[in-house]
Amino acid sequence: MGRRVFSSVVLVGLCLCWLPSAAQAELVSVSASVTGVAYPNGPWLELPQTGNPTAYLTTVVLNGGFRIFRYNEPIAPEDFRIGDGINETSAWLLDFTQDPNYALLDLSKPFTAIELVFTIHGPTFDPTDNVSIGDLGQAQAPMPTSFGTNVVDLMNYSGQYNEATIRASLLGAYDPGDPRFCYAGPGQLSMSGGDDFVIEYARITITGVMIPEPGSMALLALGLVSLFLGRRVLRFKSC
């Protein structure tokens, strides 16, 4: 076997070894989070229990990045107290475009992992409460298992909360039609939760396929050309 043929065989061998790893997609993770303060140090607001209760429906108390309000007309004394973790709604916006890795995430391909982390406190735990993504509604929305930090795998949670629906929610725009909740454009998720807790922290981390960098594509093309030329040399020598 001549030296050129041997070199070509080595080249083809190297290319065959290298190509699968080059073609394999790399993964990238992006996160968005919101932080408030912990119960019972939250910004309680005591509204007077006189006057027109419906006027209170426009009152929003800010707890860091969380917006706390009474969803329905207040009736019980706790309804007039906003930020005490009883009978109230929290809303927040997760903005993934602030993560520098967001531009690297290929939104046209399914995500490989979606993790929700949230920390809640309050006077009385209610297992029927939930935290939801605006577009997906409260049906099957993640429910906390206890006060403190909850970690939820959202990839195949249930029903409306799966990879495809969450990715669609991230790609689209969501207008809640209610200024107390958060509008979410592309790259953002509008979330809310309630009604018997103060939320201190919320984060979603999404892992998906990384958009191939131009340098990697050029390298892949070079590998393919090398492979092609190597085969041409082998064929010529064997004639």
Q: Does 53 bind Ca ion (CB under 5 A)?
A: no
Amino acid at site 232:
R
Site for Ca ion contains 66 (CB under 5 A): no
The total number of residues written for the chain in this structure: 239
Q: Specify the residue, 48 or 177, whose C-beta has the smaller distance to Ca ion.
A: 48
| C-beta neighbour count of 156 within 10 angstroms | 9
Considering only residues 84, 95, 135, 200, which one is a binding residue for Ca ion as defined by CB under 5 A?
Answer: 84
**Cβ 62 to Ca ion shortest distance, Å:** 15
End-to-end CA distance of the chain: 13
For 177, half-sphere exposure in the C-beta direction (CA atoms, 13 angstrom radius) is: 1
- Does position 115 interact with Ca ion (CB under 5 A)? The reply is no
Q: Which is nearer to Ca ion, 91 or 206 (CB)?
A: 91
d(CA 214, CA 216): 5
- Closest CB to Ca ion among 83 and 187? 83
Sign of CA pseudo-dihedral 57, 183, 64, 197: positive
Determine if 129 is a binding residue for Ca ion (CB under 5 A).
yes
95 binds Ca ion (CB under 5 A): no
Question: What residues line the site for Ca ion (CB under 5 A)?
Answer: 78, 81, 84, 86-88, 126, 129, 195-196
